[in-house]
Amino acid sequence: MSKRDLVVIGAGPAGMAAAAMAADLGLTVAVLDEQPRAGGQIYRDVDRVPKGRGRILGKDYTDGASLTAGLRHDRIDHVAGAVVWAIEDGFCISYTKDGRGAQVTAERIVLATGALERPMPIPGWTLPGVMTAGAGQILLKQSGILARNAVLVGSGPLLYLLAAQMVRAGTPPLAMVETQTRRDLIGAARHLGGALRGWRYLLKGLGLLAEITRARVPRYTGAQNLRIEGTDRAKAVTFSARGTSHRIACNTVFLHHGVVPNTQAARSVGVVHDWDAGQACFAPRLDQWGGNSVAGLFIVGDGAGIGGARAAELAGRLAALKVAEELGRLSSAERDRKAEPIRSALYGELAARPFLDAAYPPCSETLLPADSTVICRCEEVTAGDIRHYAKLGCLGPNQTKAFGRAGMGPCQGRYCGLTVTALLADANGQTPDATGYYRIRPPLKPVTLGELASMEHVAPDAAE
Ligand X SMILES: Cc1cc2nc3c(=O)[nH]c(=O)nc-3n(C[C@H](O)[C@H](O)[C@H](O)COP(=O)(O)OP(=O)(O)OC[C@H]3O[C@@H](n4cnc5c(N)ncnc54)[C@H](O)[C@@H]3O)c2cc1C
Site string for other proteins, 296-335 (x = CB under 8 A): ----------------------------------------
Under a CB-based contact definition with an 8 Å cutoff, are residues 165 and 42 in contact?
Answer: no
Instruction: Give the nearest distance from C-beta 67 to ligand X in angstroms.
Output: 9
Binder to other proteins among 47, 448, 452, 461 (CB under 8 A)? 448
Assess contact for 381 and 406: CB atoms under 8 A: yes
- 455 near other proteins, rule: CB under 8 A: no
Would you say 117 or 326 has its CB closer to other proteins?
117
Q: Least distance to other proteins from the beta carbon of 71, Å?
A: 20
Phi, psi for 77 (deg, rounded to 5): -105, 115
CB 219, CB 175: distance < 8 Å: yes
Contact status: 207 vs other proteins (CB under 8 A): no
Residue 265 interacts with ligand X (CB under 6 A): yes or no: yes
Q: Pick from 6, 10, 68, 70 the residue near ligand X by CB under 6 A.
A: 10
Question: In the range 236-275, which residues lie near other proteins by CB under 8 A?
Answer: 251-252, 262
For residue 99, the partner it binds in ligand X, other proteins, none, with Cβ less than 5 to 8 A by kind, is other proteins
Give the one residue of 34, 45, 77, 325 binding ligand X; rule: CB under 6 A.
34
Binding residues for other proteins restricted to 72-111, rule: CB under 8 A? 83, 85, 96, 99
Distance, in Å, from the CA atom of 310 to the CA atom of 352, rounded to the nearest integer, reads: 13
Q: Choose from other proteins, ligand X, none: what does 50 bind? Cβ within 5-8 Å by kind.
A: other proteins
| Window 110-149: contact mask with ligand X (x via CB under 6 A) | --xxxxxx----------------x--xx-----------
> Does 437 contact other proteins by CB under 8 A?
no
Rounded to whole angstroms, how far apart are CA atoms 281 and 168?
33
* CA-derived radius of gyration, the chain: 22
For 431, phi and psi rounded to 5 degrees?
-80, 160
CB 257 within 8 A of CB 154: yes
Query: How many C-beta atoms surround the C-beta of residue 99 within 10 A?
Result: 9
- With b for 16 or more beta-carbon neighbours within 10 A and e for fewer, the 186-196 pattern comes to eebeebeeebe
Selected from 146, 192, 370, 459, the binder of other proteins by CB under 8 A is 146
Q: Judged by CB, which is closer to other proteins: 27, or 463?
A: 463
Q: Which does 15 bind (CB under 5 to 8 A by kind): other proteins, ligand X, none?
A: ligand X
Q: Using CB atoms within 10 Å of the CB of residue 126, give its burial: 0 to 12 exposed, 13 to 18 middle, 19+ buried.
A: middle
Between 299 and 339, name the residue whose CB sits nearer to other proteins.
299
- Neighbour tally for 231: CB within 10 Å: 8
Distance CA 178, CA 259 (A): 16
Is 407 a binder of ligand X (CB under 6 A)? no
**Contact call for residue 148 and other proteins (CB under 8 A):** yes
Q: What dihedral do alpha carbons 316, 322, 326, 331 form, nearest 10°?
A: 130
CB within 8 Å of 438: residues ≥ 6 apart: 267, 397, 398, 407, 412, 413, 417, 420
Q: How far is CA 85 from the centre of its chain?
A: 18
List CB contacts of 388: < 8 A, sequence separation 6 or more. 403
Separation CA 389–CA 396 (nearest Å): 10
Does position 187 interact with other proteins (CB under 8 A)? The reply is: no
Distance CA(250)–CA(307), nearest Å, equals 33
Binding test (CB under 8 A) with other proteins, winner from 379, 398, 426, 455:
379
Return residues touching ligand X (CB under 6 A).
Answer: 9-15, 32-35, 40-42, 82-84, 112-117, 134, 137-138, 158, 161, 259, 265, 301-303, 308-309, 312, 444
Return residues touching other proteins (CB under 8 A).
Answer: 34, 36, 41, 50, 52-53, 56, 83, 85, 96, 99, 116-117, 126-132, 134-135, 138-139, 142-149, 169, 171, 232-233, 251-252, 262, 377-380, 409-411, 414-415, 445-448, 451
